[in-house]
Amino acid sequence: MADLRLIYGFHAVTSRIRQNPEGVMEIYLQSQRQDQRMRDLIALAELSGVRVIPVDSARLDGMAGGARHQGVAARVDAARRVQHLSDVLETLTEPPLLLVLDGIQDPHNLGACLRSADAFGVHAVIAPKDRAVGITATVEKVACGAAETVPYITVTNLARTLRELKDQGIWVVGAAGEAKQDLHSFKHTGPLAIVLGAEGEGLRRLTMETCDELVRIPMLGSVESLNVSVSTGICLFEARRQRSVLA
């Protein structure tokens, strides 16, 4: 039996239909909304063979739990198409660039991290199954489709997974405020996994000890730290910038 859940918002629903139409059971559209954006979505759903169900705004509000749904929701199969990192690594034609998130709890932060991962060509995002938010409807909406385009792989033991990455020749670099080396002076354009910690707590001790190297983002102002999704964007941008210089 399929593991069904609800996603909502134009970006999340449109991306799911384009990427995996067979995983979309049905979409619910606010019957009062008849603008061009809605008509385009209906045409895409019909072309993809997805059932369209018009509903009133009150029902959509209830389905989305009061979240801002934009008049669109969909019931989808929650099974992820990519389950193992090896499925990703075996298909790459360039050195892997991976993002490892050590226990992100806030769905808005995870969604924003996925958007950055998509923007900078990350091949997969790795996160622990426990003590982490996972992919939710809020994550999918904030990610604006990136939850469908970037493989999100959960693991039972993050430290063990990092050691396995190192065994495969992937350099594991953690972002930590206490690191002596700053991000810009760090030079590595080969196989790379960038590790960022949870909101407030940062990297867990075992995760930090497992990294090959630690780097910090240079801070010139009075604030001591950045939001994890902002830090993710900065680190991924620098990794891609270094690769493009050598390309």
Which residues make Cβ contacts (< 8 Å) with residue 43, sequence separation at least 6?
none
Is 89 marked as binding a ligand? no
The answer for residues whose C-beta is within 8 angstroms of residue 237's C-beta and 6 or more apart is: 120
Rounded to a whole number of angstroms, the CA Rg of the chain reads 19
Whether residue 197 is annotated as binding a ligand: the answer is yes
Spatial separation of the C-alpha atoms in residues 87 and 37, rounded to whole Å: 35
Collapse the DSSP code of 222 into the 3-class scheme (helix H, G, I; strand E, B; otherwise coil) and give the result: coil
Q: How far is CA 237 from the centre of its chain?
A: 15
Is 226 annotated for ligand binding?
yes
In one-letter notation, the amino acid at residue 41 is L
Numbered residues of the known binding site: 197, 217, 226
Numbered residues of the known binding site for S-adenosyl-L-methionine: 197, 217, 226
